[in-house]
């Protein structure tokens, strides 16, 4: 039985992968977060991998506190760059394939055309810089696949979807930024795509194509559009007011445009990607099921 080792198992994507695990009986899953494995410790990584000997490592662990990273760059780089190198070396030692999750924040957001994998990164935040450094340390390895994603949300943890669901229920008016554009991505969709890649590579090693890939839901939205759809689909009556980024000054700069071009992952791995509105509807249905 093939074994998948999951880091960051308590996060949004980690939880989403754990929920899907029951659909993949041909795999044994090993779930780790910081309590089980400190991936910033190279020796601990090597020992853990030698014990478990996974066939695939899916790295969902990351420092994602974007604003706090501006003053906590040391911790951010240790987790988003140094730890990635540790996992890569440990993966090589046991001949495992590594799937690493990265971000649209590696781009400046000043492109105004959907970003492709060959576009030159130019991160403007410490978080984006740390994620790019993590990519750079593993991008040329033939056992490594990097997936950049954007605007991830789910029913788990803290995210824009859950915040807006609460605010549009509790308040009469909610002010939301309209001049940042990207694509909301349901973590379940990304989890399904990852498992499709893994299963296609299980019996055919050549089906595992290394390199950088982009994945987000289909379609384009502003945070304002996203919030309006959350309120509408949830049956909430709060008025959503569009505002400019300048009205919400934050320590870390955000990309103003971070739409990702998904042609490569669709063509190579034959992945069908839902529209973000359809996925949001499914997420709300899941949220209602677990909260009612």
Please confirm, yes or no, whether 153 is among the known catalytic residues: no
> CB neighbours of 32 closer than 8 A, spacing ≥ 6?
5, 6, 7, 9, 48
Measured CA to CA, the distance from residue 269 to residue 147 in angstroms comes to 12
3-state SS, residue 181: strand
Helix (H, G, I), strand (E, B) or coil at 35: coil
3-class DSSP state of 143: coil
Number of Cβ atoms within 10 Å of the Cβ of 7: 26
Residues in the chain: 292
Q: Which of 31, 105, 127, 257 is catalytic?
A: 127
Task: Report the C-alpha gap between 203 and 196 in whole angstroms.
Answer: 13
Q: What phi and psi values does residue 5 have, to the nearest 5 degrees? A: -105, 125
Catalytic residues: 127
């Amino acid at each position: 039985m093939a074994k998948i080792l999951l880091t960051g198992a308590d996060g949004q994507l980690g939880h989403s992968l754990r929920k899907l695990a029951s659909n993949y009986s041909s795999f044994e899953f090993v779930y780790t977060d910081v309590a089980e494995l400190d991936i910033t410790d190279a020796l601990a990584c090597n020992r853990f991998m030698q014990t478990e000997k996974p066939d695939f490592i899916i790295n969902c662990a990351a420092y994602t506190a974007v604003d706090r990273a501006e003053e906590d760059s040391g911790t951010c780089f240790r987790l988003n760059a140094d730890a990635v190198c540790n996992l890569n070396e440990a993966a090589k030692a046991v001949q495992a394939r590594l799937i690493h999750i990265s971000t649209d924040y590696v781009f400046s957001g000043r492109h105004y055309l959907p970003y492709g994998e060959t576009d030159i990164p130019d991160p403007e935040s410490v978080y984006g810089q740390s994620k790019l450094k993590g990519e750079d340390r593993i991008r040329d390895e033939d056992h490594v696949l990097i997936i950049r994603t954007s605007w991830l949300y789910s029913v788990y943890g803290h995210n824009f979807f859950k915040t807006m669901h609460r605010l549009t229920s509790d308040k009469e008016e909610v002010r939301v930024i309209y001049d940042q554009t990207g694509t909301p991505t349901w973590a379940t969709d990304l989890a399904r795509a990852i498992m499709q890649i893994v299963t296609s590579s299980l019996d055919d090693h050549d089906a595992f194509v290394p390199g950088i890939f982009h994945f987000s839901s289909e379609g384009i939205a502003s945070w304002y559009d996203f919030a309006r759809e959350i309120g509408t689909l949830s049956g909430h009556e709060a008025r959503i007011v569009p505002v400019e980024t300048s009205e919400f000054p934050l320590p870390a700069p955000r990309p103003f445009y971070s739409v990702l071009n998904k042609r490569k992952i669709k063509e190579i791995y034959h992945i069908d990607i839902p529209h973000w509105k359809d996925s949001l509807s499914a997420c709300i249905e899941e949220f209602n099921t677990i909260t009612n």
